[in-house]
Amino acid sequence: MLIVKNISKNFGSFQALDKVSFEMNKGDIVGLLGKNGAGKTTLMRTLTSFITPSSGTVNIDGEDISKHSLSIRQKIGYLPEKPPLYGDMTVQYYLNFAAEIKGVPKNKRLFQLAKVLEECDLEQVKQKTIATLSKGYKQRVGIAQAIIHEPKLLILDEPTSGLDPMQIQQVLALIKNQRDQRTVLLSTHTLNEIEQVAQRVLMIKSGQIVFDEPLDILLKSTDPSQLGPLTLEQIFINHHQPQASKNTPQTPETTHQVSNE
């Protein structure tokens, strides 16, 4: 579904992405972890054609992004870190506009609109102006615009950022429900969110992928210093501390990944 090969991106002398490579299969939900400034947003913007990579290739559903950007954008649903909403529009008007510019045929538009309103639990606020909605609702409207054209690949940049615990659970449940319909790449700082929805974890540090493991293998890894299961939080800290090696997991796969760092 998604093949990323040796993507690099330079902003002047700053290298935001450094030969990033990974693949995602149909139906995967992959969590992208990394500190602020690690390159998560740059990577996601590259996958959505918002940023052109300095080198490397991105292939989505068999098409090269540099040659078929427009048809690839038709297959992608994207929620940026800040939901891209027009405060003066009602939820219904905005989603109808999103459907129009994303090429949903006129005869299917009403059906799709009703579907995402129900899926994202927005029915009761559909006539409200977006500016008057709570942050949780705004985030759900953001997700609704991303899925209204039935994309094959859904890219969510920190979809739970700034939400209260209840709202986070609602958004995570919504993401989980996408599993059967599309491939999902989501970034977050909150590790337990990844544990709840993702099957695989990608960790990015200084523009490089330093960790790419299925979640179940990762969580079975043992922490030699604590004689217990290694949590995502510990792995995250290990990878972002200079003296990380003492807490590295003992599976051959993760040992290999860490030694690459």
Minimum CB distance to other proteins, residue 257 (Å): 31
Nearer to other proteins, 70 or 166 (CB): 70
Residues 112-131 that bind other proteins (CB under 8 A): none
Considering only the stretches 89-97, 173-181, 189-197, 225-233, report the one whose residues sit in contact with other proteins under the rule CB under 8 A: 89-97
Helix (H) or strand (E) holding 96: helix 91-101
From candidates 33, 98, 113, 153, binder to other proteins by CB under 8 A? 98
From candidates 103, 162, 228, 229, binder to other proteins by CB under 8 A? 103
The sign one gets for the Cα dihedral 123, 146, 170, 84 is negative
What are the residues facing 4 on neighbouring strands?
Answer: 22, 58
From candidates 1, 3, 85, 219, binder to other proteins by CB under 8 A? 85
Considering only the stretches 26-34, 79-87, 206-214, 223-231, report the one whose residues sit in contact with other proteins under the rule CB under 8 A: 79-87
**Residues in binding contact with other proteins, number by CB under 8 A:** 27
Does the protein bind other proteins through residue 48 (CB under 8 A)?
A: yes
What are the residues facing 19 on neighbouring strands?
Answer: none
From candidates 6, 25, 55, 71, binder to other proteins by CB under 8 A? 71
According to DSSP, the β-strands at 63-64 and 222-223 are unpaired
Strands (DSSP E) contained in the chain are: 2-11, 14-24, 29-33, 55-60, 63-64, 76-79, 153-157, 183-188, 200-205, 208-214, 222-223, 228-229
d(C-alpha 99, C-alpha 96), whole Å: 5
Considering only the stretches 7-15, 30-38, 76-84, 113-121, report the one whose residues sit in contact with other proteins under the rule CB under 8 A: 76-84
Nearer to other proteins, 136 or 151 (CB): 151
Both tokens of 259, joined, read: 């030694």
